[in-house]
């Protein structure tokens, strides 16, 4: 489970923002919560905001942390960390900080790092076995100290730690510390981030999963049919003769990791079968391609207790399909720890009959041109039974451009 994420000085985010999946005292929609120890955790959350307010940058920050943990061990000498600080926070003293709290294998972890001049300034990892916070490591530049339980267990990775590499990334690859391995695996296998940029990779992933796993194909076809697409079959083909290297998507199964590098993206093709005709997938509507790209990651998230972070979930999807996907998460049993966090513009979702106040988040661009992030539960005088969509569109909660246009007179009024 994802419990909290915070960052500062990342793209449009200058001052620290905090997203929390820890539920408040509100007793509405208890079915939307997951229990862990003494915590009540949100099953899902949605982020609204005007265009350019920074919604996608919040998702990008989570993706940045995931990818840096996964890949920084491969950074070469002299290669800086590719991170984009806020335009107004540049300079030698500019720092970017990231922190995340999560649960994996029933254990709570707290991880974070700070970047300065595109290099690692500090880093830490704690966990909470048996209710007591315990240090795994703390780091300053390239020097680090282990917790008392882990003394001497990081020796093998000491030479691998560089200013442009995260210790978590290095230790997971060059040491044999189980707690490190579990934390690293969380970022690789349990946290998935979807955006429009990687949709084609996710589409190939879903096609490959259907090709190699009949049970997954059956589940995808069931999802497509329940979504009203009218699709009867999806015939996937892989041309083994195309061996050019291709990027690996962020959510692959182990077998897909070994197959895709040998496959050109065009090596995986599909034909969509309807009642009376069939067409190539590349000729399909954008909504069908989007739903198909999401299908396997979405199903794997729900069946494997994973977390799906999705930017612009609603793009190209019919409102009824969007509601149906969200309902799938709402109806999961309490024993399932899967989570969905997504950005949206569809105000019909701002409904007290669907979401709690602490599940609804907003981004707003301040006068200082920095992104602010806050939940509906943080605002005063918002009743849990009021019409959230109407309040949002009227500008009552902020996070929306209020246009003052006099179209009747053919001019701007403000």
Given this model, what pLDDT does residue 399 score? 82
- Quick one: 137 and 239 in the same domain? no
Residue 73, helix vs strand vs coil: helix
- Quick one: 177 and 222 in the same domain? no
- Quick one: 271 and 380 in the same domain? no
- Quick one: 151 and 11 in the same domain? yes
Torsion of CA 210, 215, 218, 223, to 10 degrees: -90
Confidence of residue 244 (pLDDT cuts 50, 70, 90): very low
Give yes or no for residue 405 having a pLDDT over 60. no
How many independent structural domains does the chain possess?
2
* Radius of gyration (C-alpha) of the chain in whole angstroms: 23
Given this model, what pLDDT does residue 83 score? 83
- Quick one: 176 and 222 in the same domain? no
Q: Per-residue pLDDT averaged across 352-365, rounded?
A: 95
Given this model, what pLDDT does residue 275 score? 94
CATH number at residue 151: 3.40.50.300
Domain boundary among 255, 275, 305: 305
- Quick one: 17 and 92 in the same domain? yes
| Exposure string for 270-302, b = 16+ CB within 10 A, e = fewer | bebeeeeeeeebeebeeebbbbbbbbbbbbbbb
Give yes or no for residue 402 having a pLDDT over 90. no
Cβ pair 149, 134 in contact under 8 A: yes
311: which residues sit within 8 A by CB, 6+ positions away? 55, 56, 59, 60, 193, 194, 195, 196, 342, 343
- Quick one: 189 and 201 in the same domain? no
- Quick one: 177 and 245 in the same domain? no
- Quick one: 264 and 352 in the same domain? no
Q: Which residue has the higher pLDDT, 267 or 328?
A: 328
- Quick one: 188 and 326 in the same domain? yes
- Quick one: 22 and 54 in the same domain? yes
Q: Tens of pLDDT along 117-135?
A: 999 999 999 999 988 999 9
At residue 136's C-alpha, the angle toward residues 134 and 140, to 5°, is 120
At residue 162's C-alpha, the angle toward residues 261 and 109, to 5°, is 80
Domain boundary among 239, 274, 305: 305
Give yes or no for residue 406 having a pLDDT over 90. no
- Quick one: 182 and 84 in the same domain? yes
Domain that holds residue 255: 197-305
In 3D space, the residue among 27, 21, 19 whose CA is nearest the CA of residue 54 turns out to be: 19
Given this model, what pLDDT does residue 94 score? 85
Domain boundary among 247, 275, 305: 305
Give yes or no for residue 166 having a pLDDT over 90. yes
């Amino acid at each position: 489970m994802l419990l909290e994420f915070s960052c500062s000085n990342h793209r449009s985010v200058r001052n620290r923002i905090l997203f929390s999946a820890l539920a408040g005292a509100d007793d509405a929609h208890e079915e939307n919560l997951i229990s862990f120890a003494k915590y009540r955790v949100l099953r899902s959350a949605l982020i609204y905001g005007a265009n350019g307010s920074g919604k996608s940058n919040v998702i990008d920050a989570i993706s940045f942390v995931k990818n840096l943990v996964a890949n920084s061990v491969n950074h070469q000498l002299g290669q800086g960390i590719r991170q984009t600080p806020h335009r107004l926070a540049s300079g030698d003293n500019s720092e970017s900080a990231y922190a995340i709290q999560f649960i994996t294998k029933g254990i709570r972890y707290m991880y974070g790092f700070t970047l300065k001049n595109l290099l690692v300034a500090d880093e830490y990892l704690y966990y909470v076995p048996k209710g007591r916070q315990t240090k795994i490591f703390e780091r300053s530049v390239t020097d680090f100290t282990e917790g008392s339980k882990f003394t001497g267990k990081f020796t093998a990775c000491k030479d691998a730690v560089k200013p442009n590499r995260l210790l978590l990334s290095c230790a997971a690859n060059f040491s044999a510390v189980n707690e490190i391995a579990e934390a690293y695996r969380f970022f690789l296998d349990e946290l998935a981030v979807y955006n429009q940029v990687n949709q084609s990779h996710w589409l190939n992933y879903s096609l490959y999963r259907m090709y190699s796993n009949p049970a997954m194909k059956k589940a995808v076809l069931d999802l497509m049919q329940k979504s009203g697409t009218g699709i009867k079959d999806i015939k996937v083909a892989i041309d083994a003769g195309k061996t050019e290297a291709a990027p690996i998507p962020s959510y692959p199964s182990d077998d897909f990791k070994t197959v895709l590098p040998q496959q050109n993206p065009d090596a995986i093709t599909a034909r969509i079968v309807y009642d009376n005709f069939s067409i190539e997938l590349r000729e399909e509507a954008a909504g069908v391609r989007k739903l198909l790209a999401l299908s396997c990651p979405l199903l794997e998230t729900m069946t494997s207790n994973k977390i799906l972070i999705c930017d612009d979930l609603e793009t190209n999807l019919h409102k009824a399909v969007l509601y149906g996907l969200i309902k799938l998460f709402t109806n999961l049993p309490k024993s399932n720890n899967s989570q969905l966090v997504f950005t949206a513009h569809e105000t019909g979702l701002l409904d007290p009959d669907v979401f709690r106040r602490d599940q609804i988040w907003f981004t707003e661009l301040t006068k200082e041109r920095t992104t602010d992030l806050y939940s509906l539960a943080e605002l005063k005088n918002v009743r849990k039974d009021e019409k959230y969509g109407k309040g949002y569109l009227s500008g009552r909660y902020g996070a929306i451009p209020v246009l003052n246009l006099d179209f009747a007179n053919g001019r701007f009024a403000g």
